[in-house]
Structure 1
């Protein structure tokens, strides 16, 4: 792990991103391992079949969270990054891609797309990704920690249909970076599965309420 003082964390993160391309004093080139979690969501039989369309907004996150670097928190007041390791894409992109594939592969929704495509949606899913880091939490082994807040919004009147904070903690089997990456893959699977199910159930409940409400009421 590379210890980064909080006051210099942003600048150090930028420099570390280039470290894999620099030549060390001994003439050797530092290698960088790229980790690309592969998540395939399995639809829950309890998920409803819906006939409305959903637009997924690009998740938002603080700059230090939305980074290709793999963050680790050894103590509550410190944030570091793993040396010689990186994600294949920033955390928000991983989450957005996983959700889009999960909704599509579930076969439970008539239409889903990124909001940037201009889809004419009935509902919009917005996400604030708060944490995407390994956290030791005072223990000997780190845990992949994903925390986000999601809001399901009715597209026509911008009404917040439902809002919820999701928090997933998945213990790594060792301190090795590869095992930490595997824990993140499991945590991303659990978080995305729970979020997809919540979205379908919340949206369907709202659609049914609207269908039962007389016009103008």
Structure 2
């Protein structure tokens, strides 16, 4: 089909805005990728709870915390996210991993793992990530996690506590916010390890009970 010069000119004029938008979209998508920040697993020497096996569940969290974004919240409760940075994984999953690592680095537990490992445990830690944000206008990095110790044998809640720490952030940008939140979380995780290690934890099979059962067995 033959197109006249006039029709061709009209067609080009109609397509020009579409081509411009495509070029702008390409320019935006080729911008710098956000920096990725990990969380630390601190080490210490914490005594207690030797021989106990613990499963650490992924913390429950609201949708605004179930993300890789770095959260900012002001006194009115308004939420925003810091550009140019993100966490290395979905935040609850990343915190679960680093809490397991902290137990491994610092405690005398016989073993610590996640439920998907299939390991037989004495107790489980059931938690909720309540806060993990830069609180403005004071620019405080706040980490807050509630934790319950649950008997794996009968589902009984053995103990529960809320852990909170805050650290000043020198600036509300991705590197400084991530650094301050990491420091606050490290305080919280070590406090959790100390608390669990110092608690009276039920065993799936009490060694004394097992021994008594053996004594009662017929000869």
If the length of structure 1 is used for normalisation, what is the TM-score?
A: 0.76
2:188 is the counterpart of 1:191:
yes
Q: In structure 1, list runs of 5 or more residues that go unmatched.
A: 1-21
Unaligned runs of 5+ in 2: 1-24, 213-219
Counting only pairs closer than 5 Å after superposition, residues 147-166 of structure 1 correspond to structure 2 as 147-166=144-163
- The alpha carbon displacement at 1:98 in A equals 1.1
SS in 2 for 1:148: strand
What's the secondary structure of 1:59's corresponding residue? Answer: coil
Q: What's the counterpart of residue 11 of structure 2?
A: none
**Are the aligned partners of 1:23 and 1:30 in contact in 2 as well (CA < 8 Å)?**
no
> Which deviates more from structure 2 when the two are superposed, residues 184-193 or residues 49-58?
49-58
Equivalent residues in 2 for 1:114-129, closer than 5 Å: 114-129=114-129
Deviation at 1:175, TM superposition (A): 2.7
Q: In 2, Cα distance between the equivalents of 1:166 and 1:69?
A: 22
After the TM superposition, which segments of 4 or more aligned residues of structure 1 sit over 4 Å from their partners? 210-213
Between the aligned partners of 2:30 and 2:94, the Cα distance in structure 1 is 31
Alignment match, 1:17: none
Shift of 1:212: 8.6
Listed one character per residue, the Cα deviations across residues 25-67 of structure 1 (whole Å, up to 9, x for unaligned) are: 6x861431111123332223xx315112111112111111111
1:66/1:28 CA distance change after superposition, 3 Å? closer
Q: Secondary structure at the match of 1:104?
A: helix
Q: Deviations over 1:178-203 (max 9, x none)?
A: 11111011111101000111111114
* Partner in structure 1 of residue 38 of structure 2: 36
Matched residue SS, 1:109: coil
Root-mean-square deviation over aligned CA pairs: 2.3
Distance, in Å, in 1 between the alignment partners of 2:101 and 2:92 is 14
Partner residue in 1 for 2:79: 79
Are the equivalent residues in 1 in contact too, given 2:134–2:172 (CA < 8 A)? no
2:145 aligned with 1:143:
no
Q: Tell me how far 1:150 sits from its aligned partner.
A: 0.4
User: Rg larger in 1 or in 2?
Assistant: 2
Distance change in 2, residues 1:201/1:187 (3 Å): same
Q: Distance in 2 between matches of 1:76 and 1:23?
A: 37
